[in-house]
């Protein structure tokens, strides 16, 4: 009978250690796999709602935003896509734009004259300065909140960027219909925003909802505009606009 000694024994022990290590790594990966795929494996559903405006002077129910904040977990934000809010015929298009934290919004000037886009919001204060027709400047939004957008040359121009920490959101159309697609099943905090409603009114509409295997229909969301008082905004220096602005 031959005896294994010296370097031969060391090689055998080393080979066994490598095999044991590989087995342990495979077991570790198998244990982690269900946890890593649990969120992505959840069925994706649709959440729908209809906006109903009370004491409104307009028949257009568009540009009301709703969104869902997951009560557990942290959703992935696809904030590598750059969005655009155009300046066209002395208006912002779209009038309301939803972005996620860390996303950049560009402001192309499509008019044949200059603009000066700015915001004095505490969420994101910026001043893009005067830029000419055909030029574009951008802003990265790093905090959640509502950011009113203005032009320092044309006081009639007003837009809104809504910055969220969730990818589950939607905007109403002219009839007030909204859909949020690709929502994983689970519990969420529902929130809504409308530029012609007081913050207290909107906060009272917030509620917890459950998205099940057939999605969720939130029905009619009634928003009262009656207590809202619009006020003229200031220029970028905090003063009043020229009483004879450029038309």
Question: Is a pLDDT exceeding 70 seen at residue 5?
Answer: no
User: In Å, what is the CA distance from 69 to each residue of 45, 148, 207?
Assistant: 15, 22, 10
- CA dist., res. 128 & res. 146, Å (int): 18
Element containing residue 16 per DSSP (H, E): helix 7-37
User: In Å, what is the CA distance from 100 to each residue of 138, 144, 162?
Assistant: 15, 8, 8
pLDDT > 70: percent of the chain: 81
3-state secondary structure of 149: strand
| Mean pLDDT (the chain, rounded) | 87
Q: Are 171 and 97 in contact (CB under 8 A)?
A: no
Pull the structure tokens for residue 88.
């066209």
- CA dist., res. 69 & res. 73, Å (int): 10
Q: For tokens 């204060």, name the residue.
A: 125
Element containing residue 204 per DSSP (H, E): helix 199-205
- pTM of the predicted protein model: 0.81
Question: Is a pLDDT exceeding 90 seen at residue 17?
Answer: no
Element containing residue 68 per DSSP (H, E): strand 65-70
Name residues whose C-beta falls within 8 Å of residue 235's C-beta, 6 or more positions apart in sequence.
150, 152, 155, 241
- How do residues 93-137 score in pLDDT, each as one tens digit? 999 999 999 999 999 999 999 999 999 999 999 999 999 999 999
- How do residues 42-92 score in pLDDT, each as one tens digit? 689 999 999 999 999 888 999 999 999 999 988 889 788 999 999 999 999
Mean pLDDT value of segment 193-209: 96
Residues facing residue 190 across a β-bridge: 68, 207
Q: For tokens 């919004």, name the residue.
A: 105
Could you tell me which of 190, 181, 185 has the C-alpha nearest to residue 219? 190
- CA dist., res. 64 & res. 69, Å (int): 17
Residues facing residue 150 across a β-bridge: 118, 158
């Amino acid at each position: 009978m031959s005896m294994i000694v010296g370097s031969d024994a060391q090689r055998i022990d080393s080979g066994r250690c490598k095999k044991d290590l590989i087995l342990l790594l495979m077991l570790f990966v198998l244990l982690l796999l269900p946890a890593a795929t649990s969120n992505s494996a959840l069925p994706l559903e649709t959440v729908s709602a209809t906006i109903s405006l009370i004491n409104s002077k307009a028949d257009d129910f568009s540009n009301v935003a709703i969104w869902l904040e997951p009560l557990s977990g942290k959703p992935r934000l696809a904030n590598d896509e750059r969005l655009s809010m155009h300046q066209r015929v002395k208006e912002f298009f779209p009038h309301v734009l939803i972005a996620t934290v860390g996303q950049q919004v560009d402001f192309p000037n499509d008019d044949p004259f200059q603009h000066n886009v700015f915001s004095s919001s505490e969420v994101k204060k910026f001043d893009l300065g005067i830029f000419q027709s055909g030029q574009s400047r951008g802003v990265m939004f790093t905090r959640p909140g509502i950011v009113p957008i203005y032009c320092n040359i044309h006081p009639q121009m007003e837009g809104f960027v809504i910055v969220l920490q969730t990818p589950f959101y939607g905007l109403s159309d002219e009839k007030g219909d909204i859909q949020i697609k690709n929502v994983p099943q689970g519990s969420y905090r529902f929130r809504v925003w409308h530029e012609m409603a007081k913050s207290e009114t909107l906060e009272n509409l917030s509620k917890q909802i459950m998205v099940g295997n057939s999605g969720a229909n939130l029905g009619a969301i009634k928003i009262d505009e009656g207590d809202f008082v619009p006020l003229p905004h200031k220029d970028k220096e905090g003063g009043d606009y020229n009483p004879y602005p450029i038309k």
